[in-house]
């Protein structure tokens, strides 16, 4: 005669008088499962998996939003992010060089005069060139100024301004 606990163990007497106890294929009604002993015990409970400080190996690449990611996937994301940050850093340095170039364009100072001028800038390996035009009114009270510039990152900018002095 074979008896079974609530779905998990089967107990069967053998012809030689021994008893065979087997674990059923599908376990039911368990609150936890533990494997091993001591500080490195592996357990699954309602709170999750405690892998006893061991690595989980041979993890396939996650596909769905709720899948775990493996180290290769995390490293790939880190590399893409680092590349984007490096490109952004160069763009920002080019923008700073651009501001330096525009700020260094000389401005007309003689009443009624016109001036075309050039300014350059460099910041941490990125450069910019700016060209500007300025004009002062005959009484030197109004000054207009325009500029255009380009950076080593291939970015361009334009600007203009007008001022009245008294």
Task: Name the residue with higher pLDDT: 162 or 42.
Answer: 162
> Using CA atoms, how far apart are residues 100 and 105, in angstroms rounded to an integer?
9
At residue 110, the pLDDT reads: 96
Instruction: Place 43 in a pLDDT band, splitting at 50, 70 and 90.
Output: confident
Are 89 and 120 part of one and the same domain? yes
pLDDT tens profile 90-131: 999 999 999 999 999 999 999 999 999 999 999 999 999 999
What are the CA-CA distances from residue 1 to residues 4, 14, 23 (Å)?
A: 10, 10, 17
Are 76 and 48 part of one and the same domain? no
The answer to whether position 118 is within a domain reads yes
The answer to whether position 103 is within a domain reads yes
Say what percent of the chain tops pLDDT 70: 96
Residue 6: pLDDT over 70: no
Q: Whole domain around residue 88: which residue ranges? A: 62-166
At residue 52, the pLDDT reads: 85
Kindly report the average pLDDT of the chain as a whole number: 91
Are 49 and 109 part of one and the same domain? no
DSSP 70: P
């Amino acid at each position: 005669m074979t008896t079974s606990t609530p779905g998990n163990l089967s107990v069967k007497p053998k012809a030689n008088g021994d008893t065979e106890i087997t674990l059923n294929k599908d376990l039911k009604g368990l609150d936890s499962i533990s494997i091993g002993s001591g500080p490195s015990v592996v357990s699954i409970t309602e709170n999750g998996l405690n892998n006893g400080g061991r690595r989980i190996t041979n993890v396939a690449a996650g596909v769905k939003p709720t899948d775990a990611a493996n180290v290769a996937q995390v490293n790939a994301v880190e590399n893409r992010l680092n590349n984007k940050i490096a490109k952004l850093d160069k763009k920002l340095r080019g923008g700073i060089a651009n501001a330096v170039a525009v700020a260094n364009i000389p401005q007309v100072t003689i009443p009624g005069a016109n001036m075309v001028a050039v300014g350059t800038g460099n910041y941490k390996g990125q450069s910019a060139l700016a060209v500007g035009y300025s004009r002062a009114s005959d009484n030197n009270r109004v000054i207009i100024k325009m500029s255009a510039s380009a950076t080593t990152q291939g970015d361009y900018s334009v600007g203009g301004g007008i001022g009245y002095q008294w």
